[in-house]
Amino acid sequence: MTTAAKAPIRAYSGIQPSGAPHLGNDLGAIRNYVALQERYESIYCIVDYHALTSVHDGDRLRRQTREMAAALIALGLDPNKCTLFVQSHRPEVLELAWILMTVTPVSWVERTPTYKEKKLTQPDDVNHGLLTYPILQAADILLPKASVVPVGKDQAAHLELSREIARAFNHKFGETFPEPQAVFTEAPVVLGTDGEKKMSKSINNTIDILSDAETIKKQVMSAVTDVKRPLKSDPGHPEACNVCQLHKLVNPDYKELWESERNATTGCADLKRALAERLTAHYAPARERYQELLAVPHEIDSILGDGAQRLLPLVTETMHEVRERVGLA
């Protein structure tokens, strides 16, 4: 690993194997994973244990885990610069999660916004894993003693809980874990094509960056734009238009487009076409790499296997220390 010149800080993030990532994942989190691998020792994990709280289909989980690995590499993670692994390949995390559960009051997890949300979105499957989910997330981060965690804003409450859990453990058993800090990109919440809610696969408002040009175009053209501009001849309000906001995030020349929106030289459909073209062109190399990687699953598996192996000494050291502190060794 090329860690010699990096700051002595460890970054960690986890992502669920929920199929190929969307624009919100990339702008809100993955682009920071890629940036941080240059600066810190960085560990990225495909969290298949977490996914089991919603996916009960072995073949699908296996396929989506590989797809996420291929997508992360295609979007810029370099296995020579960071460690990429699958959560269940280092099952030590479950032992740490159990130990952390014993220092976490039930009230802390019951008040987690994502748990409340899941109770509404999957009311027929409010399994216990959903409640314990953020404690496993804390274990993910604390096992390698990471202190920097690149995530989107929706993970802020989980990160706060991870800090509280680290503090609770340290208070009972002595200083063991650093308190992890969330780091955000300049787009911590990317809105979906509905222009209202966070972009998310579960509400079908995504722009699927690794899809073909036609799919991207269809998704972008369906986007809600400036609702205060009923006619093309009316002046536009780029600050209030989600498509203009997306241009700002992916287009260095966005100011010109905003201006032509303001003075009604371009219409919303023109802006959407331009966005679709830009996204298609920008993600074309990643899309190609993604397809190439999917065609060689053994290579993906080998990268993931190496990642888990590389983590063994670090994980063994933390677990040895934790067991000793709590009295299991």
Catalytic site positions: 118, 198, 201
Q: Which is nearer to ligand TRP, 156 or 240 (CB)?
A: 156
Nearest to 307 by CA among 58, 60, 65, 23: 65
Q: Is 16 in the site for ligand AMP (CB under 6 A)?
A: yes
The single residue among 25, 64, 137, 266 that binds ligand AMP, judged by CB under 6 A, is 25
| CA torsion through residues 199, 180, 30, 123, sign | negative
Q: From CA 319, how far away is CA 323, in angstroms rounded?
A: 6
The H or E element containing residue 252 is none
Please state, as a whole number, how many other Cβ atoms lie within 10 Å of the Cβ of residue 317: 12
The H or E element containing residue 173 is helix 156-173
Q: From CA 303, how far away is CA 35, in angstroms rounded?
A: 20
Within 263-296, residue ranges assigned H as helices are: 268-294
The minimum distance between CB 141 and ligand TRP, in angstroms, equals 5
Q: Which of residues 198-237 bind ligand AMP (CB under 6 A)?
A: 198-200
Q: Please give the single-letter amino acid code of residue 209.
A: I
Q: Which is nearer to ligand AMP, 29 or 86 (CB)?
A: 29
Q: List residues binding ligand TRP (CB under 6 A).
A: 12-16, 47, 50, 137, 140-141, 149, 151, 155, 158
Maximum alpha-carbon separation in the chain: 74
Q: From CA 64, how far away is CA 87, in angstroms rounded?
A: 14
Q: Which is nearer to ligand AMP, 141 or 199 (CB)?
A: 199
Q: Which is nearer to ligand TRP, 168 or 224 (CB)?
A: 168
What secondary structure letter does DSSP report for 7? E
The minimum distance between CB 14 and ligand TRP, in angstroms, equals 3
Q: Which is nearer to ligand AMP, 159 or 268 (CB)?
A: 159
Residue 118 sits at the vertex; the CA angle it makes with 115 and 119, to the nearest 5 degrees, is: 90
Q: Is 151 in the site for ligand AMP (CB under 6 A)?
A: yes
Stretch that binds ligand AMP, among 113-121, 135-143, 150-158, 213-221 (CB under 6 A): 150-158
Q: What does each C-alpha distance from 254 to 195, 239, 272 come to in angstroms?
A: 18, 12, 13
Partner that binds at residue 293, options ligand TRP, ligand AMP, none, CB closer than 5 to 8 Å by kind = none
The minimum distance between CB 149 and ligand TRP, in angstroms, equals 5
Q: From CA 283, how far away is CA 37, in angstroms rounded?
A: 20
Q: Is 155 in the site for ligand AMP (CB under 6 A)?
A: yes
Partner that binds at residue 50, options ligand AMP, ligand TRP, none, CB closer than 5 to 8 Å by kind = ligand TRP
The single residue among 79, 134, 144, 152 that binds ligand AMP, judged by CB under 6 A, is 152
The minimum distance between CB 206 and ligand AMP, in angstroms, equals 8
For binding to ligand AMP (CB under 6 A), which residues are involved?
15-16, 18, 24-25, 28-29, 151-152, 154-155, 188-190, 198-200
